[in-house]
A and B are shown apart, each in its own frame.
Chain A
Amino acid sequence: MVKYSYYPGNVARQSSFEVEDTIQPLCKSLGIELIEMVGYNSDGGNIIKQGNRELQLALNARNIALAESNGHDIITACASAQGILHETLDTFQKDPIALANANRVLEKTTGMTVSGEISTNHLLHVLVDEIGLDKVEAAVVNPLDLDIACYYGPHMQREGACGGDDAWNPNYMEQLITALGGNPVEFRTKTSSVGNPSLLSLGDSVMKMTARVLNDAKKSGAQVLVSACTQSHSNLDSYQGKAGRVASKDTNIPVVHLSEIVAFALGHFPDRFAQLRTRAIIIGS
């Protein structure tokens, strides 16, 4: 059993509870113990950073301090959270002044300090690098048997933030989908942004960015789009109809979180998986 401090991010226990529903059982199936970071807070979503960089750093420092007190590296299912946590740790490791300032505030307000010496990992990279695809494949109960496009987004696609995967031409998710009995479909925009940080503040450009990814995945022959970014999922799913109208593109495609598709393949929530397969056949046709 490998242990990680679990950071749910901004949406897994809010608007996207399906992530929380699925990550817990899938981790149990694969021998991953999720240790709660009691009292974790929002990472600021790179939105607080626009108003005050030091504030976002301090908020993340608190989360990192909680993980350090647990004694385990961090795992998250959100690419955006992974990107922000990695950037924070990278800042602390390269900029001792930023680390000292964050620690000064943190110690004064919480009594904790951070060393910045732990790592943060996305669920995808833990499954491939730590657990291993052989073990994942052996645990499959319901092979996916769908044509699946894998969306990574830009937030964690940086050197050092995406495990052993290629930051610019990633294929970990495709390997994982293959191990789960699915058929990965290549598409060009799998690391392009859908503009999630500006979903509420910008109009057409965000919709066009969203439509670009959805249409690209669909044109590549995918029946389902799997997203490693729980925040971008809002754009890709809830806004896909609007995005299609704004960009005049066909964007109809079922979109699920990475944690969901893994959980389905491992035999959890078979009723939801059946629903998804039905939707993939009807909507995706």
Chain B
Amino acid sequence: MPTVAKVWIEEDCITCDACQDILPEVFEVTDDTSLIKAEVREDGTFDRNTGFSAIKTEFRAEYSELIEEAADACPVEIIKFEYEAGAATEVAEEAPAAVEAVAPVAVAADTGADAGVLAGVLSGDRGLAIFFGSQTGNAAGLAEKTAKKAVAYGLEPSVIDMDGYDQSQFSTHKRILIITSTWGEGEMPDNAEELWNSTNSSNPSLAGIHYSVCAIGDTSYDEFCKAGTDWDDKFKSLGATSILEIKLCDVDFDEPWTEWVNEVLPRIACVDSSGVFHEDLVEAMIAYGAGDEDDGASDGDFAPPEIVMPTISLTMKIFRYNPVMAQSGYDTIAVALPGHATIEDALVAVKREVDGSLTFRSGGIAGHNPLTGVKANGRILPADTTRICDLVSDGATLTIEPIPGYDVLKDLMVSYDRYDNERANSKPWMAADPRQGEKLVSGAPMGVMASSEATNLHTLADVGSLQLVNAMSDTYDVDDEYSGPGIALQRWVRSQDPRSGVKHVKQMFSLMQNKGGIWDEADISSIHRHGIDGSQAADALYEARSRLLAEYKFTGRTGRLVKNYSRSVKMSGNVNETTLYRSVLGPLGLGSNLMNGVSLRMMLGFTRNGGPMMRGFQGMLVPPAGIGKIPNMFNGKVANHHEVVAIFNELDSRF
């Protein structure tokens, strides 16, 4: 039994007197803290012994156990002690690898007398081989789960498929767990068959191995768990030591496996690197495993990386609007924030430290609220999930404004009524016709859809916030009648849903085609550049326009534009703007251009700054007069023009 050589008191004593009650010869509790008496110390000082003076030799054997008891009894665990060096030497004799790894003092104090030995067990080779014999994957899954739990006991598990394993390698392990199912009438699973046969034929010595078996089976079979019991018998016969009796699990194996794994892991973890089982340490090992449980969990399925970015100093310009005074402007604030902070974090900091009246939408603790959008340095982004470091670098200016296209209520908070009203009016939700389907086991009807169709539907509208997609459009905030690309996207998706009724699809097409619909978007490129969501929405809008042009046969001014633009390119390889203006605008449009000065500006050289005015005058003299682009009426065909025609003929004969 090792004896205590040093004892000391750490900070935060609550002066409960427990230690003094147990061992008044060593501990004396003052008004502030417990102290170690001078009489028992080599240095003869009366204090907490933070200098780690040794206990006089003559007192060690007498007080050792009581010091341990006092340390155990201390409610705030501030009594720490250290054993004589001889104790470590003694451990070293049993487990040579433990010399360098005598447990830290804090651990020794926590786990009492067994701690030093436990530390020795926890050092050196900690390998644990977990073999699985599996037919359907259940045993393999349990092996994986067992391995994750084993880490908590300081083990280094490796999960091994029995298939292809060389039986001669069994002896290289000191700790083995076997998890196996039984197949058919007491047969080995396919992946274990070969190893079983080779083990039986060669009968290798397994002396020095500690093992246990978890067998899963089905009690409705005569040969219940036979594969597991076969392995158990075989290991025993070859000299291995069972660390825990075989566990037989029925079809519902979770509960018995849990019992087995909770019992076997601390036991097999007490097998030291030389193969000696320390049964007296099992309780300490259970405590050790429980103490490490939290850490083990974080290293299991998902270990989140540490995401800490350097602090960024920036100038924030925040839009402010006071609806009572109808005043607006910008607040400029110098801030320093961690780079990984979100825009919302920055706004919260400003609200808390600078101006409590700052108003914005918060994402809440769940993250990603589609309504938290702001315009940050021109980009439409969700404030609650966008990091500062992804927007600006150190020393930059970050301008935060409300998203465009919506009425500003106060500061950065906008009203989404426009979006909600448009959505309610267009009803882009499911309106299905009766159709063929399948039935669930319960007999309830269930619709069916091919997985490719379902994936396509999800992909079409896979954006984080349809409200923000609306704000990405540069057209949305200048055209009050435009329902926006977010609404258009919903209509398009619903029209492509094979579950939608015929009448509903027509309604969606009509809403997209008419005023307020998809053609009111003046420039899809303004949406496309807004990251993944923007490009996703833009691609869907192009696809929708293509479908509408086919459906409505290029009618309307936009239809004429696409048709005539395409034909112009096909006919010459280039855009003939004169014919394009004439065919798209028509006589009324040309007349309008004449009247409102557009044609005049073209002719008088505004467009061609300082260019030859004769080009413009030609436009006045040769029909169709009005737009001053006469040279383009005769623009020549590109070289190898037939290639362009061939491309058109190959891909789209409509032009």
Residues of A within 8 A of B (CB): 10-11, 13-18, 21, 38-42, 44-55, 58-59, 62, 80, 83, 87, 105-106, 108-110, 154-155, 157-158, 167-169, 191-198, 200-202, 204-206, 208-209, 212, 233-234, 237-242, 245, 254-257, 260, 269, 271-273, 275-276, 279
Contact = CB atoms under 8 A, between A and B. Distances in A.
Contact of B650 (A109, A169, A193, A276): A109
27 contacts: A13-B574, A14-B576, A14-B632, A15-B607, A15-B632, A17-B611, A18-B611, A39-B639, A41-B573, A42-B574, A42-B575, A45-B575, A48-B565, A50-B562, A51-B563, A51-B652, A53-B546, A62-B644, A80-B525, A110-B640, A154-B529, A158-B529, A197-B525, A201-B584, A205-B522, A209-B474, A254-B609
Contacts of A234: 607
A16 B607 contact: yes
A67 B638 CA distance: 15
Interface string B519-562: 11111111011000000000000110110010000101110111
B478 interface: yes
Given A154-B526, A167-B529, A50 B549 contact: yes
B213 interface: no
The 7 A-B pairs at the shortest CB distance, nearest first, are namely A272-B610, A195-B522, A39-B639, A109-B646, A193-B523, A208-B478, A205-B479
B606 interface: yes
Given A197-B525, A273-B610, 6 more contacts: A42-B569, A48-B566, A52-B651, A105-B650, A154-B525, A237-B601
Given A45-B575, A193-B474, A195-B474, A59 B598 contact: no
A47 B562 contact: yes
The winner among A42, A48, A195 for most chain B CB atoms within 10 A is A42
Given A41-B569, A109-B643, A48 B574 contact: no
A202 B575 contact: no
Given A51-B652, A242-B596, A59 B610 contact: no
A55 B562 CA distance: 12
Contacts of B611: 17-18, 21, 272
B109 interface: no
A55 B377 CA distance: 35
Interface in B270-328: none
Contacts of A276: 609-610
A201 B558 contact: yes
A40 B638 contact: yes
Interface in B473-492: 474-475, 478-479, 482
Given A209-B474, A209-B522, A233-B607, A53 B542 contact: yes
A204 B525 CA distance: 19
A110 B646 contact: yes
B587 interface: no
B431 interface: no
Interface of B: 377-379, 474-475, 478-479, 482, 519-526, 528-529, 542-543, 545-546, 549, 554, 556-558, 560-563, 565-566, 568-569, 573-577, 580-581, 584-585, 589, 596-598, 601-602, 606-611, 615, 629, 632, 635, 638-641, 643-644, 646-648, 650-652, 654-655
Contacts of B598: 238-239, 241-242
Contacts of B478: 205, 208-209, 212
B647 A55 contact: yes
Given A59-B569, A200-B585, A193 B526 contact: yes
A45 B94 CA distance: 83
Most buried by A among B573, B581, B641: B573
Nearest to B648: A55
Given A40-B638, A238-B601, A241-B596, A200 B475 contact: no
Contacts of A271: 610
Contact of B546 (A17, A51, A154, A237): A51
A255 B632 CA distance: 22
Contacts of A18: 607-611
Contact of B581 (A154, A155, A200): A200
Contacts of A110: 640, 643, 646-647
A4 B221 CA distance: 79
B523 A195 contact: yes
A238 B609 CA distance: 11
Contacts of A192: 474, 526
